[in-house]
Each structure stands twice: as structure tokens, then as C-alpha cells.
Structure 1
Amino acid sequence: MRRLSAVLALLLATTVLSACNSDPEKSPGAAPAAGNGPVKELVDRLPEAIRKAGVLRLAGDSHPPYRSVGTDGKTVTGLDPDLQAALGRVLGLKPEISIVNGLPAALTGMLSGRYDGFNGPVKDTAEREKDFDAVVWMTTRTAYLVPTESKAGIRTSADICGKKVAAVTGSIVEDQIKKLTAWCTKNGKQAVTFIGLADTNATILAAKSGRADAAGMTEGAAIDAKAKDKDAYTYVTQTDEQGAGVDQLAMLVPKSSGLGPVLRDAFTVLLDSGEYLEIMKKYGLDNVAVKQIGYNTAAPKTSGPGSPAPSAST
């Protein structure tokens, strides 16, 4: 009897401790546990208009492997739709994607209220954080895709100097090409000629047709293009010395909507459950996956009385 009493006492203590640890008052940025359906805590925090509509309206351009647009101009496959479906399940929302013509259209569309977000992935910058919340879910370096039959003689990123490079207008790559050009001229080489186009497919076609010597894109996009036709392309990667570094890529949502913190925690749910990494591995991008979801990482953080404490997922 004494032994049975001791076991019962231990079980009671364990139950009480579990109840204490399941306190719904979580620390800022802490994500609830994942399940097979909507996470009520996150659903309850959604902006009312989005929760009532039951739809997450997202802008998207043609940007393999993140988004590949079908010939009908509406069917979208790739990493982004898979990720959207997972986020939609967690938030109890149906994701709907509208195809837009590049980044500027996505940004203006969000600010006008047509779209709730844009999953780029786009570089998190302090300038963009003035209008948008940025949920950082991957990193990247800049790569230059070159047709194997090219006579341009591009074997290293230094060989890009003096060449014509097609890249998406307003993209992270356009900024990287400026940095590479600065390195080229500093080292007595010719500047890179930038050819701005609407989407990644257009830049690849420009390189393939000879209009450009190379197509600039994220390394993930270059890996995807090479994998689809391994004998057709090679690529070189911009170095730290040439100003590249590792960039933080994000989903953007209008700051005024209040959706940003909820999406951050929904991403964290997927990361903690392992589903995020499974999706990244499916598209060969696990080498650029993050270990922690970032949030508005570009703008300088202030400190002092009245300043908010950083969240657990920042």
C-alpha cells in the first residue's frame, strides 16, 4: 500500500507540473506546438478581416524553384506553394496566389491592399521594413548561370567583369551586381552591364539566346536550373571579397496589417515540427535553410526605457 501511495503521489505531481508548463501565457515570439490542423492560438491572433475571409492572398512572380508558373498563367508549382499550403493549414486559411509581373508589382499591390503578402523570397532591408514586416526563412548567395555552350569565357565570378548580366529588376541580385561592378572597377576591370528583366525565366532565356552572357539569380534558383538540364548550364558564385556575403531572404507582409508576428510564429511551428526542413530538402535547398526564423532583421534595434524586448524568434 505504501508503494502504491508513493506511485500515486508521483503521478499527481507530474500531472500538476504538466499543467503548469502548459500555461497559455507564452513568452513573446514562442510558437505553439504543431498539429495536423489549425493552431487555435495563431488563428485567434489573425487580423479579423483575414480570419473572417478564411483566405491568405499572396502575390507571386515566376521564380523557379520557388514558383513555376504553368502555361495557363495560373497553375503554380514549387517550393512556395508547398510552403503556403503548410502555413495555410497551421493558420486555418486557404492560400490564394496571384501572378504578378515582378517585385515592384508585388510591393505596390500589397500597399494598396490587393495582397496580404509576398514570399519572394526577397531580401530583408531596412528600407523595406519601413512599410513591411519581414519574416526571414532562408539565406542565399548570388550566382551567375552560364550556358555551357557560351563563348564568354566565364569560369569564375571575376570573369563576370565586363560581361552583360540579365537579372530581375529590383531584385537582390541587382544590388549584388552593383557590388561586383565596384570590385571590378577597383581592380582595373570593366564594369558589369546590367540587363533588367521581369522574372527569372526571362533572365535564363536572355542568357540562352546570347542577349546576355549570364543570368544572375539566387544560388537556389541556379541549382534548380542546372538540375533540370545538367548539361545545359554551369554557374559561378559571387565571393565575399566581391561584396556578396550571405543575404537574409524573407516573406513580406504590410506592416499596417498586423499579420507579420502571426506569420513569424506559423513559420516557427513548421520549423519546430520538422516540416519546414522537409520542404527545403525536397527542393535541394537545405543548405540555405535557417535554424531560427528571423523577423525584421535589417533595421537597427533600439534599446532603452520603453523599447520592446527582442522576441525568442528574432
Structure 2
Amino acid sequence: MPQRTLGRMTFAITGLALSAVLVAGCAATSDAPASAPDPAANAENEFFQALPAAVQEAGSVSVGTEAYYPPYEYIDADGSTIVGLDIDLLDAVTERLGIEYELDNVAFDTLLPSLDAKRYDLVVAGITDTVERQANYDFVDYFAADQAIIVAAGNEAGISSMADLCGLTVSVLVDSTQQSLLEEENAGACAGEQIDILTQQSDTEALMQVQSGRAAALLTQEAVGMYNASQIGGGTAFEVANEGSIEPMPLGYVFAKGNDQLRDAFQKALQSLVDDGTYGDIMSSYSLTNAALDEITVNGAE
């Protein structure tokens, strides 16, 4: 996919509105599956037949997420339901597979350890596929994610690229790929004038650091920044500062090593959604067609 140039975009959020978003994000939610599908009803379903026998028998998979990362997953206005791009895709792919899913909303930095502990069959949380993570996990990639630098409106520091963050305090989601990108800058371009990396438990909390002035900028996924820009407030408080693409990377569903059959079943079902246009319709509904993939790959990061 070609790199995209970011237009400059602004959005506003009052302290009250941002606090409301954060409180909503703290709601404990879990979507329990309906009664397990009858395997006999899936006798002619090639996607169901590709699943491991244990999943066929259970008729369901357990999924970990962190629902504070719009537009991928977030808590809706009633404070009890997880919605978003990832959820719409998960609904579509599990329907194609002929199974249900149970969704567990937990802190981002506990997701992969919980997958290690076999608490979940997979993790769906806008997680970046990297070569380093591939050493321990397998990814079914479904999205091409760029990054964005969010600053207060007016961009007084004149930030337009990662190099401009040297010597500044930058907030970021803890244990995220964006944190790793900032650490790489500190080891390279900013070695002489380090970025003060301010990690937070959610992207919303990281944005609050910019609002309060504790941080000069937030580094986040572009889709998240663009969502906030289009959804929150009246368009006067923040803006996307970078003028060019920053490290576009694939996002993927995350599976434990050795769970190849389940991984491959999800890859096959997701590809079928691409082929019949369902995937494109979902991406279009979030105005993210530029980030859509033509091919659903396994471990596509290089």
C-alpha cells in the first residue's frame, strides 16, 4: 500500500467531555456468547470445518481486547457495549466461521501475557504486527496503520516530524508500538536531546496529558487521531501535526504460537470477507478505505 500524506486536521474537546470519555472507558464490559451453534448446522460450512475440533465443539472462541481505542474498539454512549471497527470485523468473521465469541475488556498491557497464559484464543485490539512480536506470536493482518502526532491547536512548537520531538515530553500508550518508535528516536536522532516519554494506560489518558500541558504531543495510530479529530468536540483544541507518513505498519489478530489451525481459519474467513466486499463495506463505514488491504496475510510485517 502506498504511503499516505496526512492533511492538517483540528478537533476540540472540553475537559468535561474528555473526562466523560475516560470514565466511560473505565466501564467493565464483557460480551458473553449466545448458545453455541449446532455443529450439524455447519456441516457444509468450509470455514467452520477448517477450525480446530475443540473450537467446533465449543462453538465459540475467547477474545481479549482493550476497549479504549476508537475507532478500533470503544465503549458506546450507554457505557455497556463495546463497538468499533474491530468489533464489526469480528462479528463478520465469526459469523462466516459459524461460531460465537466471548469478548473480555482488560488493560492493554495485560493482553499478550493473558494470551501466553491461554486465557484467550486470540487478541483483537488494534495491535501492530512487528518482526519482534512475531518471535512470540502469530498475526493475521487486516489493516495498514500509519501514525500521527497530536498537538494542541496552533502547534506552537512547530512540530511536523518525529525529529521535532527531540527534547519534548510526548505522551503515549504504554507498551505500544508508538512507545517503541519514541524509544528508537531516543537511540538515534534524539540521542543528544532525549524525548521525555510519558506512558499512560489508555490513549484517552495520553491525550489528556496534551490537554493539560504536561505533554507537548501525543504519538498514536493515525486512525485513532483521525477518529478523535472527526468525532470529539468542535474542532479548535488539537491538530494532527505531522505532514508526512510515519512508519505505516500492519495490524493483526494475535494468536499464540502453535495455534496454526485457528490462525489459518481466521485468515481464510477474513480473506473471504475481502473477496465478497463485506470487509470493504466495513472499512468504508469508518472512512478508512485508504488503510484497507487486498490480501489478508499471516505475519506480514518485514
TM class by shorter chain equals 0.7 to 0.9
* 8 Å Cα contact 1:64/1:200 also seen in 2: no
Equivalent residue for 1:176? 181
* Aligned residue identity for 2:294: K
- Counterparts of 1:130-279 in structure 2, within 5 Å, are 130-148=135-153, 151-185=156-190, 190-229=193-232, 230-237=235-242, 244-257=246-259, 258-279=261-282
3-state secondary structure, aligned to 1:260: helix
3-state secondary structure, aligned to 1:96: strand
Task: Give yes or no for the alignment of 1:120 onto 2:125.
Answer: yes
* 8 Å Cα contact 1:142/1:176 also seen in 2: no
1:52-91 deviation per Cα after TM superposition (whole angstroms, max 9, x unaligned)? 2222211111211101124776421111111111011101
By how many angstroms is 1:161 displaced? 2.1
* Aligned residue identity for 1:267: L
How far apart are the structure 1 equivalents of 2:189 and 2:296? 35
Normalising by structure 2, we get a TM-score of 0.77
Equivalent residue for 2:96? 90
* Aligned residue identity for 1:283: Y
- Segment of structure 1 superposing worse, 37-46 or 194-203: 37-46
3-state secondary structure, aligned to 1:252: strand
How far apart are the structure 2 equivalents of 1:183 and 1:129? 24
Q: 1:181 to 1:127 in 2, by over 3 A?
A: closer
Structure possessing the higher radius of gyration over alpha carbons: 1
* Number of aligned positions between the proteins: 257
Structure 2 gaps of 5+ residues are 1-40
Equivalent residue for 2:297? 294
- Segment of structure 1 superposing worse, 146-155 or 190-199: 146-155
* 8 Å Cα contact 2:159/2:165 also seen in 1: yes
Normalising by structure 1, we get a TM-score of 0.74
Q: 1:88 to 1:217 in 2, by over 3 A?
A: same
* 8 Å Cα contact 1:142/1:237 also seen in 2: no
3-state secondary structure, aligned to 2:159: coil
3-state secondary structure, aligned to 1:249: strand
* 8 Å Cα contact 2:114/2:120 also seen in 1: yes
Report % sequence identity. Answer: 27
How far apart are the structure 2 equivalents of 1:73 and 1:265? 33
Structure 1 gaps of 5+ residues are 1-36, 300-314
* 8 Å Cα contact 1:45/1:262 also seen in 2: yes
Once superposed, what is the RMSD of the aligned Cα atoms?
2.4
* Aligned residue identity for 1:82: D
